[in-house]
Structure 1
Amino acid sequence: MSDSATETDQSGAEGARGRGGRRASGGAAARRAARSGGQRSPAMPNITRRVPVYEVLDEEAISTIEANADMVLEEIGIEFRDDEEALKLWKDAGADIKGQRIHFPKGLCRDLLKTAPSVFTQHARNPERNVQIGGDATVFAPVYGPPFVRDLDGERRYATIEDFRNFVKLAYMAPSMHHSGGTVCEPVDIPVNKRHLDMVYSHIRYSDKPFMGSVTAPERAEDTVAMCKILFGDDYVENNTVVTNLINANSPMVFDDTMLGAAKVYARHNQACIISPFILAGAMSPVTIAGTLTQVLAEVLAGAAFTQLVRPGAPVLFGTFAASISMQSGAPTFGTPEPSLVSYGAAQLARRLGLPFRTGGSLCGSKIPDAQAAHESATTLNMTLLAGTNFALHSAGWLEGGLVASYEKFMIDVDQLGMQQRFAEGIDMSANGQALDAIREVGPGSHYLGCDHTRANFENAFYRSLIADNNSFEQWDIEGRKSADQRANALARQWLDSYQAPDLDPAIDEALQDFIRQRKESMPDAFS
């Protein structure tokens, strides 16, 4: 099981440079105007949190975990498998190499990470959609990696490229979704070695929000960068972050050649890597919270520092995906207390390092969008915001432990994201927020329904749910006794029926399609 996409083929295609993808001409200003396209959905900017973060570790506990992680790095080590270049980079940096295992002198990784930015901007083709990664910002991105979907007809089936496009469209239209994500579902109707091209193109064509790239082979990462350069221009990509990418540690304490290869490609081109241990506590880390945090910190320190060996200053995020397992069946569990404590603690460790933090989302083990899904997702999502998470993957659509992307769950989660955004605004202490004029006007014993302050503020005073039914029983009965998932189904259909693609310069679109056609023609289909 992996937090990354499920593609597995490791094809040996040539690098992206010099592949003949025709690029649109014109100056930088013209290119920015051309790629920005039209805005057809109301949008909320990325969250700027005005509520305090929740912390679970005191200074002694943090120091202990940091010291334990240093001990793991120095005495036990981390394996960087099947990548001679990575081993050489570490050797040149002063690490002790024993086979494929690297032992890190105390302080080496932290010293390397001094060049990593604590805050950076991921640029979208529409500049109004740019997002801040780090600081007091939170960015919501959709589910990532499911091979199955639960569609609008109630069928659980393998995902297709049409499903992929639909989820990109829904994320584009969702005001509370700040990011288009990456592998929102795995389109199994396209060969493994070619589907990344269609996925990246779908993010570019059907949305103007920022997106993620392919990490399932270094060559696919190169293709992603090449397509970004067609869209943004070579110099722009080399000097600005336009794509974010998920680099999973193969926990416990291993980075494999696939992840290392992708990380090298993106770091060399100044693109962001999320170094994210994939933790099922009890199987891939110790059963204890402190032990898991020690391993997570050691893995992130090694992986994140590696990006700085490749290119000092390349943006990198401290990531973790934390879940526990059932000690009876071995199945992953979600929404339980222990993973939340791991994520809260990891967020504190990330802030100590000065790195942006990724975790959380709307996670659940339920097979359908039922009460279990709601409770588990709410627990995870509340933690996500209160921990101070900067980049929240799996924010909408996740079912069945990440095996399924659900249309209905996506819409329910999007509604919850809007509530989180409103909560993050905190308490308005302006003169209007204090509302003394309303209190004076109404006085004792009356009501506020008709006062001037209420009439001036009623449209935006409270969050209005897209999904919840708050009418009387009689009204709900007359309207068909619809459940939340039924209302979500209708809303998803409505959004997809009304979708309008953001404009994309025809010359850029043609260049992208030329590049994709040439790449596909250069290799035979592979389905494994």
Structure 2
Amino acid sequence: MADATAPSRRTRGGGGAARRAARSAVSFETARYIERNIPNYEVLSEEALEVIEHNAEVILEEIGVNFPDNPAALKRWADAGADIDGERVRIPRGLARQLCATAPSTYTQHARNPDRNVVVGGRNLVLAPVYGPPFVRDAEGGRRYATMEDFRKFVKLGYMSKWLHHSGGTVCEPTDVAVNKRHLDMLHAHMTLSDKPYMGSVTEPSRARDSVEMSEVLFGKDFVAENTVMTSLININSPMTFDDVMMGALEVYAQAGQACIISPFIVGGAMAPVSVAGTLTQVMAEVLAGIAYSQLCRAGAPVIMGAFVTSIDMNSGAPTFGTPEASQITYGAGQLARRLGLPFRSAGGFSGSKLPDAQAAYETSNSLNMGLLSGVNFMLHACG
């Protein structure tokens, strides 16, 4: 019996080659995701929250949301009991909230290195880098379009940062690679240059499918079928339009059991009402419809309620970041997310400044503090 169970000298420790590889491997310390002990700041009263929730359901029932060029989505909604008028979906009161109830309140996103798994939801805060900038700036070239080499450098920098728990997604837009294939190079960079969790492509449904299949190669098909290995950003085309590209990506990820951030991208005063309460009502209506749709695709699919709101410069029409109005909306959206029992995404190092000056410093610090106090669970744009 002892002979059968005793390890042999040959297999102990994996051999000399494995030990030499372990000694030479480059690894950087990463802090565990943050578990907040401070209370959340709640700016809205119970009465105000009930009014916003009531009016959001009025919008869904009487005005509805558009699902253009997506007959499969219209059929899903019709089968669920919604009223379909052309491409407009009117959702009866209570239906969206009922569907949202199947979404989990927390989920674990697995990383290539299990020590860097993150738990999204509850009192946890996961920090991820910037997402989506087409330009980069360096000492030699100044402001210029980003390249794939820039992308790889930013992934490496994110991996080296102790305080970033997540590798992110489109840390910059590499314009030197064709649009129809750059997602493959970008995802490959996250998979090979970092062992932190990452995001998948959402720019076309087939690219979302590529992301799932590449993850199956990395983690194993059976593992991906049972676990969340991607958290990807789905923006709603505000106001109240769910375009077929983003919804197609959402369908792929939800059906594969991968997490999606359902996040309206609202410029207050341009794509939503000017008032804080009015914008929050639209945010609530849009996320209810988007999260409900994810659950129509697969009940229990992990999802995050997102809110990415800016105000508008009435002189230039440009979005402004780091403003008090955006903070108020973010605080209120956090309260609404907690009432739905869902993880919350927002905030980050936001600033409307074009220079690394005092304005950039105070707007960024105020925005980061807003994210901490509003109960954000997944902070996209935490740096960069």
TM-score in terms of structure 2 length: 0.93
Q: Which residue of structure 2 aligns with residue 159 of structure 1?
A: 146
1:45 pairs, out of 23, 32, 51, with: 32
Distance, in Å, in 2 between the alignment partners of 1:255 and 1:113 is 17
Matching residue's letter, 2:225 = E
Helix, strand or coil for the counterpart of 1:211?
A: coil
Q: Which residue of structure 2 aligns with residue 125 of structure 1?
A: 112
Distance, in Å, in 2 between the alignment partners of 1:93 and 1:255 is 17
Helix, strand or coil for the counterpart of 1:91?
A: helix
Alignment of 1:109-508 (within 5 A): 109-153=96-140, 155-397=142-384
Give the ranges of 4+ consecutive aligned residues of structure 1 lying more than 3 Å apart after TM superposition: none
List runs of 5+ in structure 1 lacking aligned partners: 1-29, 398-528
Helix, strand or coil for the counterpart of 1:205?
A: helix
Q: Which residue of structure 2 aligns with residue 21 of structure 1?
A: none
User: What percentage of aligned pairs have identical amino acids?
Assistant: 63
Distance, in Å, in 2 between the alignment partners of 1:153 and 1:240 is 44
Matching residue's letter, 1:352 = R
Matching residue's letter, 2:241 = V
Distance, in Å, in 2 between the alignment partners of 1:140 and 1:382 is 13
Q: CA deviation at 1:368?
A: 2.5
Q: CA deviation at 1:327?
A: 1.5
Helix, strand or coil for the counterpart of 2:101?
A: helix
Q: CA deviation at 1:114?
A: 1.3
Matching residue's letter, 2:343 = P
After superposition, what is the alpha-carbon deviation per residue over 1:81-132, rounded to whole angstroms, capped at 9, x for unaligned? 1100000000000000001110001110111111100000000000000001
Distance, in Å, in 2 between the alignment partners of 1:171 and 1:386 is 24
After superposition, what is the alpha-carbon deviation per residue over 1:212-242, rounded to whole angstroms, capped at 9, x for unaligned? 0000000000000000000001111111000
Distance, in Å, in 1 between the alignment partners of 2:45 and 2:251 is 35
Total equivalences in the alignment: 363
Distance, in Å, in 2 between the alignment partners of 1:262 and 1:76 is 25
2:61 pairs, out of 74, 88, 93, with: 74
Matching residue's letter, 1:150 = R
Matching residue's letter, 2:130 = V
List runs of 5+ in structure 2 lacking aligned partners: 1-13
TM-score in terms of structure 1 length: 0.68
Helix, strand or coil for the counterpart of 2:305?
A: strand
Q: Which residue of structure 1 aligns with residue 10 of structure 2?
A: none
Matching residue's letter, 2:242 = F
- Say which one has the larger Rg: 1
Helix, strand or coil for the counterpart of 1:246?
A: strand
Helix, strand or coil for the counterpart of 1:366?
A: coil
Q: Which residue of structure 2 aligns with residue 484 of structure 1?
A: none
Q: Which residue of structure 2 aligns with residue 26 of structure 1?
A: none
Q: CA deviation at 1:39?
A: 6.3
Distance, in Å, in 2 between the alignment partners of 1:49 and 1:129 is 18
Sort the Cα spacing of 1:391 and 1:239 in 2 relative to 1 into closer, same or farther, 3 A. Answer: same
Helix, strand or coil for the counterpart of 1:176?
A: coil
